[in-house]
Amino acid sequence: MEKEEKQDIMRHSMSHVLAKAVGLLFKDVKYSIGPAISDGFYYDFDISVSITPEDFDKIDQKMREIINANQDFVRKEISRAEAIKLFNDQPYKLELIKELPEDEVITIYYLGDDWFDLCRGPHIENTKMLRGFAFKLNRVSGAYFKGDEKNKMLQRVYVYGFDDKQKLKGHLFMIEEAKKRDHRKIGPELDLFMLHETAPGMPYWLPNGLKVFNILVDFWRQEHKKRGYEEFSAPQLNSSELWKTSGHWEHYKEDMFIVKELDGTEYALKPMSCPSAINIYQRKLRSYKELPLRFSDIDVLHRNEKSGQLNGLFRVRMFRQDDSHNFIAENQIKSEIKDILEITERFYSIFGLEYTLTLSTRPESFLGEIEVWNKAEDELKHVLDEVCGKGKYNINEGDGAFYGPKIDIHMKDCLGRRWQMGTIQLDFQLPLRFDLTYTDNESNKKVPIIVHRVVYGSLERFIGILIEHFAGEFPFWLSPVQVGIVPVMENHNKYAKKVCDELEKSGIRCEINTKDTGMGKKVNEFRTQKMPYTLILGDKEAAEKSVSIKIRGGKQINDIKLKDFIKACKQMNDKKSLQLCEQF
């Protein structure tokens, strides 16, 4: 048995220990479900009183009593009638039983002689095997039964759980570190973005945040222009007829914002840009000489995410995405995918972000013929075998888009968290649905293939991840304001203005603090803004055309020539350096 599988079995067993402990401590407990999750386990309860963090100590103590009592986990197969009788006072279990297929083998697991639960298992044999298991009650949150907002809200008790104390200790450290880096806290503090109740899931980009956003977009434009990408912009609102042709109306309608005219005509705010790119492709006859034809955009998209799933910049309803839809011939698949993977390496490496590639294959609900799907999947496998090596990439069966298989890009941040960001999707279906063609070198009509691809993914989500990855301390080239300028006294303001002008001429973003609050307070204001460099300018600096530099993190360097400082800043901008220069 794999170590991770064993740990999951222990976590699942611990969820039963948690459920039994809660049942012993509270009256009239109605049980729902209790699975293992990536960092522990949880259990959902319906109880007349609220479980609070003040209850955690007694729940923890009762769980340890159960573990130390050496209680057996015993599996028992029962009939459907027996199950209904056993759980006649447990409405959530009864509903789960009724949903089971007629030929399903129904099992319960006893924990000791006095408590049992509906469960497929597996479990450990005895609670004594859990004595070395490290756990800590985490939090209580609301959760709808089966995730359906129409059902009753239950109380979900989360517990961290690992098979040894060091893993738990390391995880708790990472949790605390993640709290310090939380973009929902740092972002507003640094005036990057804000959220407002009148537009849930739709961030406001504040001036500093829009600077970061535009820096990323400018870099994106520069890099893609070199590679023959053509940027466009398209309408936000499109008739339902467009989405019906594309298949989104059938497969994606409930995630779209629908608008109805008085005459009943339906429109939808676009959740993705592929039909827009297709409309541009169709505006004239196309030749094989034009392919690959790469239409990129960074338009606003809207997706009707559930309110309970919204999460800062990570899960939003309005966002921008660095989309491109590349129209290619069949013999260009390999070279086009390899080119996109080269762009991916360029974009992720400058942020120090590791990433892995995953092939996602045909889902249950798909368009087109299986033979075409098999061909598309084989093409992507050949590319990944060459780029990564055979067996050195992941395969996620059944997670492809409804129109084609894809390569998903998962990146890893400094806390070890993995994020689904970019994606490269091979599409043989939409060209057929839209009757797309081009003429080959013999004037025959051919159907192009569309490669849907994003590298950043959602810009909102990407920036949220960068905020947490860097804890708000952006690399110099990405910082909204790169240099803070502090004149020591009012009579130094003139030199400060001259320094600012010289920096701005060299493309360096700077800001002067001329408040009458004393030098220390002005320096501290820039420190709290996580400014890469703060220049302190007094008599000596003005006389010698130099600067004294306070480097983010605390180090100070005096008597540096302004021209040398500017030269170092320009080099960091040009090289997209991750580290701040400390030698001038």
At which residue do the structure tokens 């070890």 appear? 416
Q: Does residue 367 surpass a pLDDT of 80? A: no
- The share of the chain scoring above pLDDT 90, in percent, equals 80
- Tell me the catalytic residues: 274, 303, 321, 323, 325, 406, 452
Nearest 5°: the CA angle 565, 569, 573 is 170
3-state DSSP assignment of residue 522: helix
CA-CA-CA-CA dihedral for 43, 45, 49, 52, to nearest 10:
10
Phi, then psi, of 456 in degrees rounded to 5? -65, -35
pLDDT digits (tens, 9 = 90+) for 249-260: 988 899 999 999
More confident residue, 512 or 375: 512
pLDDT digits (tens, 9 = 90+) for 199-227: 999 999 999 999 999 999 999 999 999 99
pLDDT for res 544: 94
pLDDT for res 484: 97
pTM of the model: 0.83
Query: pLDDT grade, residue 1 (50/70/90)?
Result: low
Please state the rounded mean pLDDT for residues 33-50.
96
pLDDT digits (tens, 9 = 90+) for 88-117: 999 999 999 999 998 899 999 999 999 999
Helices 207-226, 333-349: axis angle to 10 degrees equals 140
CB-based contact 336:292 (threshold 8 Å)? yes
More confident residue, 1 or 251: 251
Amino acid making up residue 301: L
pLDDT for res 307: 86
Please state the rounded mean pLDDT for residues 59-78.
97
At which residue do the structure tokens 């450990």 appear? 124
Max Cα separation, the chain? 94
**Residues 6+ positions from 337 with CB-CB distance below 8 Å:** 379, 380, 383, 407, 424, 426, 451
Beta pairing partners, 486: 536
Average pLDDT, the chain: 94
CA distance linking residue 244 with residue 433, whole number of Å: 10
Question: For 73-164, where are the E strands, in sequence order?
Answer: 73-78, 106-111, 116-118, 134-144, 153-162
CA distance linking residue 261 with residue 267, whole number of Å: 8
